[in-house]
Amino acid sequence: MVHQDASRCLKCKNALCQKHCPVSTDIPKIIELYLNGENLKAQKLLFDNNPFSAICSIVCDHQRQCFGNCVLNFKKVPIHFYEIEQELSIPYLKEVHFTKNKITKEKIAIVGGGPAGISCALLLSDQGYDVTIYEANDKLGGVLTYGIPDFRLSKDLVYQYARILKEKGVKIRLNCHIGHTISLAELKEDYDGIILAVGAGDAKMMHIPNETRYNVHYAIDYLKAPESFDLGKKVIVLGGGNVAMDACRMANRQGYDTYVYYRKTFEDMPANKNEVEEAINEGIKFKTFEVPIAIDDTGMVFAKGENILDENGRKKTKIIENTEHHVDCDSIIVAVSQTLHIDFPELKLNKWNFYETNQGHMTSMDKIFVCGDAYLGAKTVVSAVEDAKEVVREVINSFNG
């Protein structure tokens, strides 16, 4: 089936699928190799361009990227490139083995072992740098390990990276939160360069009355250990992104009567389209144009909202007057975005409370760079990989003067 699908590819010269892939995967070339039976070449090409190809084939927003932009959409029969990528990249990730890279260059510390940190480590190690990853948790993977649930992404795949990194000679120090015992200054003494790939791991508060109540939880905390929560019977999840979709699908699986309340429309939801569809199919109830106003003893107060355009043409929510209404529930899970946790107050911050950088990724301290969600704000796996490629270029340039 997948092969048959691939054979319909028009091999467009100016391929829109590739153009809309944040890591510019050479989709026509991959499909050509796949159809010629040159799978190993295709697999290597995919991995070398994006070491998270296997993961991206599962968690990327294909509807807004390769699949949704295939020219065959106009005939309503786009190529399911992500299925081809899954067939190629998943077995490759599990089975490929590497030999140790020879160290010929400077020592680099990478703080954070999520997609951004791992991508930086692989790229730098391949170029001869002496790389060590410091990870606060007991496993690598970042959000892939401690956020995205198993029913969406098998941890089997994520755990392959520890093996691959070790095979290549990257050193890994787990359970080591830089900024606690070891300071950034100490790390700087021992390394020629540091990349902070620390993610955006703090939930954003809504700052509405009673948000500190015992039955209000943040989705990223809940998703780390859902079994440790007792949410009562009825749960309201607030938000419309991937985190909200994971939280509501998890709560629904745990048997809670689950609702999602979102301030705009379905079309405005930043979550992957297929995640929203899955949530609806699983029976989760959605309410749109609902703006959270306050939390009280028996649930929440919402007001109805509407979409308006601000002076810059950006869509905003306007609260409609006199539409406040109360909704009963036992627990509330807030999933309205994440932000950077400041572990390194010695670095200057910008107006968004992220580390200030020069035109690129270098922070206010020489040879200390920042990348991934910690640089971009809460984004996606594929954007973390693309950002890692950029920061690696900058780090290497900084050594080459």
Ligand X SMILES: Cc1cc2nc3c(=O)[nH]c(=O)nc-3n(C[C@H](O)[C@H](O)[C@H](O)COP(=O)(O)OP(=O)(O)OC[C@H]3O[C@@H](n4cnc5c(N)ncnc54)[C@H](O)[C@@H]3O)c2cc1C
Binding site for ligand X (CB under 6 A): 59-60, 111-117, 134-137, 142-143, 147-148, 177-179, 197-199, 201, 220, 223, 242-243, 246, 272, 343, 372-374, 379-382, 384
Burial of 186 (0-12, 13-18, 19+ CB in 10 A): exposed
Tell me whether residue 6 or residue 200 sits nearer to ligand X (CB atom).
Answer: 200
Which residue's CB is nearer to ligand X, number 201 or number 305? 201
- Give the residue with the Cβ less far from ligand X, 34 or 218: 218
Q: What is the largest CA-CA distance in the chain?
A: 68
The least CB distance from residue 262 to ligand X, in Å, is 16
Least Å distance, CB 59 to ligand X, is 4
Q: Where are the beta strands (DSSP E) in 320-384?
A: 325-328, 331-334, 338-339, 368-370
Backbone angles phi, psi at 254, to 5 degrees: -80, 0
Task: Return the number of the residue (33 or 223) whose C-beta is nearest ligand X.
Answer: 223
List CB contacts of 352: < 8 A, sequence separation 6 or more: 377
The rounded distance, in Å, linking the Cα atoms of 387 and 375 is: 9
- Shortest Cβ distance from residue 241 to ligand X (Å)? 8
CB of 258 to ligand X, least distance (A): 16
Looking at the Cβ atoms of 33 and 172, the one nearer to ligand X is 172
Neighbours of 7 (CB within 10 A): 11
Helix count and strand count (H, E) for the chain = 16, 16
Residue 57: CB partners within 8 Å, gap ≥ 6? 82, 83, 85, 86, 89, 90
Q: Which is nearer to ligand X, 178 or 291 (CB)?
A: 178
Report the nearest approach of ligand X to the CB of residue 251 (Å): 13
Q: Least distance (Å) from ligand X to the CB of residue 232?
A: 22
